[in-house]
Amino acid sequence: MMDEKVARIQIHNFIEEIIDAFHDGELKDSDNIYDKGFVSSLGAMRLLQYIENTFEVQVPDEDIHLKNFNSVDSMVALVQKLKGDASNANDN
Amino acid sequence: MKDLKCVVWDLDETLWDGILLEGDDLQLKPSILEILSILDSRGILLSIASRNNFDQAMEKLKAFGIEHYFLYPEIGWGAKSVSIARIQKNLNIGMDTILYIDDQPFELDEVKLAHPSVTIIQAAKYQELTKMERLTPKMVTEVSNRRRQMYLEDQKRQSAEKEFIGPSQDFLASLNMEFKISLAKEEDLLRAEELTFRTNQLNSTGIHYSYDDLKHLVNSPNHHLWVCELTDKYGSYGKIGLALVEVQEDAWCIRLILMSCRTVSRGVGTVMLSFLMKEAKSAGKLLRADFHRTDRNRHMYMAYKFTNFIETQSNENRIVFENDLTVIQEYPPYLKIVTESIYSIEGGDVI
C-alpha cells in the first residue's frame, strides 16, 4: 500500500523545485499552483512524468485534467486513486 | 525511414588515419573536409564520440581547422552508447535521427545494442554519407544553413542558465525574449514545410504539409496560417512554430499546431494556443482542434487538456477537441508578445 504521507512530501518538494513562485516555502498542499504562478506546458509535462515515474502509475487520458494536477492535494488523490485501481486489478 | 539530423563521428581511423594516443602522424581521411562542409551546409549536425584525452583531441581538431563543426563533442573514456545518449539529450533530437560512424565493429555493436534506433555505418563507407538519401534533406532553408550556429547560441544560453543562481522564471525574464506571431508570408513557407516534417513532440497531428500545400492554404480565404518567431538577447531562434486554422461557420478549427522542441524549455509551448483562443473569442467563434495521437506527442495532448479543451469526438487515435473559451490562459509574464492580430488587440502590441 502506498504511504500517503511520503507521497505528499515527495510531490510537495517536486513542485517547490520546479515552480518558482514557491521557493519561499509558502506552498500549502491545498494551494492551486496555477493561481499562484505561471506553469508552462513543459512544467505540466514534467509533473505528469514525475508522477508516473515516481509512483509507477500510468495516468490515463481521462485523468489528464487540470483539476487533477492543480495542487498537492489533488495530485496525492490522483496517485491514490490510480494505485488503488491497480491493486484492485491485481486482486482479480 | 526518417531523415537523419546528426552524424556522430569516431576519431581514430574514422575521421583521420592513425591513432592519436599512439603518437601517429595523423592525416584526415581523403575528402573529409569536403564531406563535413557539405553535411554542415545541409543543416546536418555533427558531433563526436571518441575514446581519447579531451584536450589532446580538441587540439588536434583545431590544428585541422575543423573543431567548429562539432557540437557537444564527447571525448573521454566512457562507453560510446553513453556518449551518444548525452549528445542526443543535449541536442534534444530523436535517437532515430542519429547516425554513428566508427571503424570498430565492437563499438558499433555496443551502440546498436543500447540504442537500436541509431543508424550505424562502418568507417570504410564514409564517402557514401553525402550520397545517403536520409542525409539529403528535401529542403534546405535559411534555418538549415544556420542550424549549427543556432545550436552554438543554445550552448551559450545553457551555460548562462547553469551559472544563473535563482528561480528559472527570473532567468527566463533576463533573456528579454520577444515572441512574434504573424500570418505566414510566401518566404516563410519553406521553413513551415520543414517544421511539419521535423517537429514531433508539440505537434497536434503529425501531418506533413508540402510547400505547395501550404501555398494553397495561405491563399485560401477559409484558412489562416500563422507562424511565430522567438528572439532573445543571444539572437533569433528563427521561426519556431506554426498553426493552421480553418475558418468554419461557428468555429475556428486548428488543423495543425506545432512548436519546435528546441524552444519548449523557454516556456513558450502554449503561447500560440493562447493567442488563437483570444483571437477566436474576439471573432465570436468557438475553437476546435484536431488531434492525432502519435508515439511522441503526448505533451501536445496534455497542452490541450490543460487549456480547457474538451474531447467531443474520439475515434481510436483521432480526437476532436472543442473549447468554449470561457477560460483563457494568460501569456507567460517573462515574455513580450508581439502579434499581428486580425480581431483583437488584447494582450500584445499590434504591429
Residue A24 has pLDDT above 80, yes or no: no
A66 and B301 within 8 Å at the Cβ level: the answer is no
Which of B179, B266, B270, B302 to mutate against chain A (most A CBs within 10 Å)? Answer: B302
Q: Is 90 exceeded by the pLDDT of residue B300?
A: yes
Q: What is the mean pLDDT of chain B?
A: 91
Does B234 share its domain with B315?
Answer: yes
B174 and B157 in a common domain = yes
Please check whether residue B52 lies inside any domain of the structure. Answer: yes
Residues in chain A whose Cβ is within 8 Å of chain B: 20-21, 23, 37-38, 40-45, 48, 61, 64-66, 69
A59-92 pLDDT, tens per residue? 999 999 999 999 999 999 999 999 886 555 544 4
Question: In chain B, how many domains are there?
Answer: 2
Residues B122 and B175 both lie in one domain? no
Would you call B264 and A37 a contact, using CB atoms and an 8 Å cutoff? no
Q: How far is the C-alpha of B150 from the C-alpha of B145, rounded, in Å?
A: 10
Which residue in A38, A41, A43 is closest to B333 by CB distance? A38
Give the pLDDT confidence score for residue B347 in this predicted structure.
41
Kindly state whether residues B62 and B155 are assigned to the same domain: no
In B250-343, beta strands by DSSP E: 251-259, 286-292, 310-315, 318-323, 335-339
pLDDT digits (tens, 9 = 90+) for B223-247: 999 999 999 988 888 999 999 999 9
The larger pLDDT score, comparing residue B316 to residue B254, is at B254
* pTM score over 0.80: no
Same domain, B214 and B268: yes
- Whether B323 and B182 share a structural domain: yes
**Containing domain of residue B124, as a range?**
6-135
Q: CB distance A66–B305 less than 8 Å? A: yes
B7 pLDDT more than 90:
yes
Report all structural domains of chain A as residue ranges with CATH numbers, in order of start: 4-86 (1.10.1200.10)
Mean pLDDT to the nearest integer, B313-338: 92
**AA identity, residue B273:** L
Q: Within this chain, do residues B203 and B67 fall inside the same structural domain, yes or no?
A: no
| Interatomic CA distance for residues B247 and B280, integer angstroms | 10
Q: What angle do CA B179, B212, B200 make, to 5 degrees?
A: 50
Question: Higher pLDDT residue, A12 or B32?
Answer: B32
> SS3 of A39, please?
coil
What CATH number has the domain bearing residue B123? 3.40.50.1000
Q: Of B116, B135, B154, which closes a domain?
A: B135
* Whole-angstrom distance, CA of residue B288 vs CA of residue B254: 6
Query: Whole-angstrom Cα distance, residue B149 to residue B235?
Result: 10
d(CA B97, CA B120): 11
Q: How far apart are the first and last CA of chain A?
A: 16
pLDDT for the residue numbered B159? 77
- Nearest of B95, B57, B59 to residue B74 by alpha carbon: B57
Q: Which of B135, B162, B187 is the last residue of a domain?
A: B135
Residue A1: the pLDDT is 54
Closest CA to B231 of B335, B143, B155: B335
The three grid cell numbers given for residue B174, joined into one nine-digit string: 533576463
Are residues B190 and B96 located together in one domain of the fold?
A: no
Burial of B287 (0-12, 13-18, 19+ CB in 10 A): buried
Contact B169 A37 (CB under 8 A): yes
pLDDT one-digit tens code per residue, B25-57: 999 999 999 999 999 999 999 999 999 999 999
